[in-house]
């Protein structure tokens, strides 16, 4: 039994995948707190889908897929902002149009030209077979930059998330802070795409934050709990993925969902009251 559980650890691809999944879960859990509290869940969902379009186009053109998908993701984010500002289309409608079109374009490109490798499917549903040591380093660097940014601008980010208008009047550069957060979100989606799959990243962003909100009303504690829960779901989900022979994205998300049910049960009435706050904010 124990032997069977430890067997995957013999393989390098699994060890790499486990590191990436754990760090990816932690990273998404951390960024996800801001995403959930700013009611940006739909942006996270849309951005991850649109990035798939850039991913497909880049792999077709033989460009570095991270670069291609990253540029594409930023362009979509700007487009969403532009459409929303011109109105009368609401931001959710703008996100819906731009990102699903981009996602559809990616799917069409893959169907017409086929895929050069298994990357497209990995990007859609998450697959760690292709995780290289380079990918491990990439996600570690992005996570380090994210943690550093959040530690250094902790109060500024909190202020802008809680009271954007007040922060602006108090002299905080809100537009810049928002842009930094969007950038961190895009980078997180980019480097976790291979493990989670673009179709499921939104869950990795939202679920740990919601669990953390169930358990605490203190912001700093929420960040820590969400990061730990994210790491846990990544690690457990990765092991399940091997043993059940299912793509890593679904097993990670299902692990998160199971932890949510547990937390929901244990946190009792107080936790559910806290959660109503999140629903209310949407």
Partner 1 sequence: MHAEGPILSARGVTCSYDGTPVLDAVDLDISRGDFIGVVGPSGSGKSTLLRAVSGALEPVRGTVERGPGVSFGFVPQLEKVDWDFPVTVTECVLMARTRPLRRFWSTRQERRAERDKLLDVLDRLGIAELADRHIRALSGGQQQRMFLARALMTDADVLLLDEPTSGLDVKTRHEVLHLLDELRQSGMAVLITTHDLNGIAAHLPHVVCLNGRVIGEGRPTDVLTPANLEATFGSPMQVLQHAGMPVIVDAPTDSIEIAS
Binding site for partner 1 (CB under 8 A): 37, 151-156, 158-159, 162-163, 165-172, 213, 216-220, 222, 274, 276-278, 280-281
Shorter beta-carbon distance to partner 1: residue 49 or 213:
213
Shorter beta-carbon distance to partner 1: residue 172 or 254:
172
- For residue 169, the minimal CB distance to partner 1 (Å) is 4
Tokens coding 199 = 């179709």
- For residue 219, the minimal CB distance to partner 1 (Å) is 5
Q: In the chain, which ranges are E strands? A: none
Shorter beta-carbon distance to partner 1: residue 188 or 209:
209
Shorter beta-carbon distance to partner 1: residue 52 or 159:
159
Shorter beta-carbon distance to partner 1: residue 92 or 168:
168
Rg of the chain over Cα atoms, rounded to whole angstroms, equals 19
Shorter beta-carbon distance to partner 1: residue 11 or 154:
154
Shorter beta-carbon distance to partner 1: residue 184 or 254:
184
Place of tokens 């570690």: 140
- For residue 217, the minimal CB distance to partner 1 (Å) is 4
- For residue 36, the minimal CB distance to partner 1 (Å) is 10
Q: Can you tell me the distance from the alpha carbon of 110 to that of 47, in angstroms, rounded to the nearest whole number?
A: 19
Q: Can you tell me the distance from the alpha carbon of 201 to that of 124, in angstroms, rounded to the nearest whole number?
A: 10
Cβ pair 151, 220 in contact under 8 A: no
- For residue 33, the minimal CB distance to partner 1 (Å) is 9
Q: Please, which residues have CB within 8 angstroms of residue 156's CB and are 6 or more apart in sequence?
A: 167, 172, 177
In this structure, how many other beta carbons lie within 10 angstroms of the beta carbon of residue 203?
24
- For residue 145, the minimal CB distance to partner 1 (Å) is 14
Through-space distance between the first and last CA atoms of the chain, rounded to whole angstroms: 45
Tokens coding 5 = 């559980």
Assign 3-state DSSP to the chain and report helix, strand, coil percentages, each to 5.
85, 0, 15
* H or E element, residue 213: helix 201-215
- For residue 160, the minimal CB distance to partner 1 (Å) is 9
Cβ pair 80, 95 in contact under 8 A: yes
């Amino acid at each position: 039994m124990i032997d069977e559980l430890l067997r995957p650890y013999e393989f390098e691809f699994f060890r790499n995948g486990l590191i990436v999944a754990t760090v990816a879960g932690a990273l998404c859990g951390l960024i996800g707190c801001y995403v959930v509290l700013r009611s940006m869940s739909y942006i996270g969902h849309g951005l991850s889908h649109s990035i798939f379009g850039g991913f497909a186009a880049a792999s077709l053109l033989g460009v570095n897929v991270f670069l291609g998908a990253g540029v594409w993701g930023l362009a979509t984010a700007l487009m969403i902002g532009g459409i929303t500002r011109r109105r009368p289309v609401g931001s959710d409608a703008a996100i819906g149009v731009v990102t699903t079109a981009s996602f559809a374009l990616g799917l069409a490109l893959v169907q017409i030209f086929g895929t050069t490798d298994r990357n497209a499917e990995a990007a859609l549903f998450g697959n760690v077979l292709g995780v290289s040591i380079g990918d491990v380093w990439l996600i570690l660097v992005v996570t380090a930059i994210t943690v550093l940014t959040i530690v250094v601008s902790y109060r500024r980010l909190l202020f802008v998330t809680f009271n954007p208008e007040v922060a602006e009047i108090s002299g905080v550069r809100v537009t810049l802070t928002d842009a930094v957060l969007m950038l961190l979100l895009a980078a997180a989606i980019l480097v976790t795409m291979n493990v989670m799959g673009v179709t499921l990243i939104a869950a990795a962003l939202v679920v740990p934050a919601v669990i953390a909100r169930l358990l605490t009303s203190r912001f700093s504690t929420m960040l820590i709990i969400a990061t730990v829960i994210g790491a846990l779901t990544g690690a457990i989900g990765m092991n399940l993925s091997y043993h059940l022979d299912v793509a890593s994205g679904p097993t990670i998300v299902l692990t998160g969902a199971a932890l949510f049910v547990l937390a929901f049960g244990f946190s009792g009435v107080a936790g559910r009251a806290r959660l109503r706050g999140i629903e209310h904010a949407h």
